[in-house]
Amino acid sequence: MGSFFELLMGRTITTLTPTSPYDFDLTGAYVTYFRGHYGADWFQDGVFRRLLDLRDCLCLVKVRSLGTVDSPSLELELQGTTLNDSVVSEAQSQVAWLLGIDQDLAPFYRMAYKDPFLAKFARGLKGLHIPQTVSVWEALVFAILGQQVSAHMAHMLRTLFIQTYGFSLKESGITYHTFPSPKAILQAGEGGLRSIKLGKRKAQFIADIADTLVSGERDLERLRALPDEEIIRSLTCIPGVGPWTGQWVLIRGLCRPDAFPHGDLALRRSLGLLLKCGSSLQPEEALNYSYGWSPFRSYVTTYVFAAARSGRFHEL
């Protein structure tokens, strides 16, 4: 089980400057699947909040917008027991990564504005950056938990996983959780994961991945140095990880711009609407059509899901 902490800490405020255009409300809402709270992330009343495990301390971050879409600026408030320069610097880096603030959307927009299907779509979601997970481990587990289940079931499994095995901390009546570490999941074991409603195979896959990470047999962070194709080959050698999961890790864990989970049913349904096909595309149809959007297919995927989840799809 994750440990529980009360918040007794110092406080510091700093700023971050995203690459323009940057829509903080859209990006923050996308992190939480437009629900206000999803997994370890919160975005409510214009404030993004997350509890970070920075090894030496737990750090609660709160982010607000000080600027505009075209002239963005973010205020970053940090609360923690050990707010030395190293912790503050690490928190700044993680928040910048989580909220995708350094992504340059200009090349994607140049392509999208020339596409008859994407032009209005891209303008209607101007400034949406692709949020990232803190680690490749988080992206991989999140994807596995979402395999072949409904959106409702995926939300339930992810919530139980984080609330059961992440560190937790209470502040102003709200309990925040970190994403569980591989060590915590190794200690929980397959039996512990089964107790929070994971099926036998998913529990076994995640427990085995945690084991290889803690033992040092595998280092997922080393994937950052590899080309996309090698990353997919490496990931799909892991039991329980197929191409769909690997593509989502590229998008949300590694910030690769040209991933495309063409087997995703929700994506194929939305593309059918976007392209006015009247029905879902078949996986190969979606993949073949997507080549015209390369090398920006991660952005297309993100914008499609943002429109669908926010209820804007039919307005664009």
Summarised one tens digit per residue, pLDDT across range 306-315 is: 999 998 877 6
Q: Which fold has domain 105-123+253-316?
A: Endonuclease Iii, domain 2 (1.10.1670)
Quick check: 4 pLDDT over 50? Answer: no
For 97-126, what is the mean pLDDT?
95
Report how far residue 20's alpha carbon sits from residue 22's, in angstroms, rounded to the nearest whole number: 5
Summarised one tens digit per residue, pLDDT across range 136-186 is: 999 999 999 999 999 999 999 999 999 999 999 999 999 999 999 999 999
Domains 105-123+253-316 and 136-242 share a fold: no
Q: Which residues of 274-310 are buried (b: 16+ CB within 10 A; e: fewer)?
A: beeeeebbebebbbebbeebeebbbbbbbbbbbbbbb
Quick check: 117 pLDDT over 70? Answer: yes
Sheet holding 174-177, edge to edge: 4-6, 168-171, 174-177
Q: Which fold has domain 136-242?
A: Endonuclease III; domain 1 (1.10.340)
Pick the range with the lowest mean pLDDT from 18-32, 46-60, 226-240, 292-306: 46-60
Q: Return the domain boundaries, the chain.
A: 9-103, 105-123+253-316, 136-242
Q: pLDDT confidence of 291, banded at 50, 70, 90?
A: very high
220: nearest Cα among 133, 146, 99: 133
Quick check: 6 pLDDT over 80? Answer: no
Q: Is the Cβ–Cβ distance between 289 and 281 less than 8 Å?
A: yes
Helix axes 151-165, 136-145, angle to 10 degrees: 130
C-alpha R_g of the chain: 19
Q: Is the Cβ–Cβ distance between 62 and 49 less than 8 Å?
A: yes
Report how far residue 91's alpha carbon sits from residue 74's, in angstroms, rounded to the nearest whole number: 14
Instruction: Find residue 63's DSSP bridge partners.
Output: 48, 76
Q: What is the pLDDT, as a whole number, of residue 313?
A: 76
Q: How far apart are the first and last CA of the chain?
A: 44
Pick the CATH number of 9-103 from 3.30.310.20, 2.60.40.420, 1.10.620.20, 3.30.1330.80: 3.30.310.20
Q: Is the Cβ–Cβ distance between 102 and 19 less than 8 Å?
A: yes
Quick check: 7 pLDDT over 70? Answer: no
pTM for the model: 0.95
Q: pLDDT confidence of 277, banded at 50, 70, 90?
A: confident
Report how far residue 1's alpha carbon sits from residue 192's, in angstroms, rounded to the nearest whole number: 9
Q: Is the Cβ–Cβ distance between 135 and 221 less than 8 Å?
A: yes
Instruction: Find residue 246's DSSP bridge partners.
Output: none
Q: What is the pLDDT, as a whole number, of residue 2?
A: 54
Q: What is the pLDDT, as a whole number, of residue 9?
A: 65
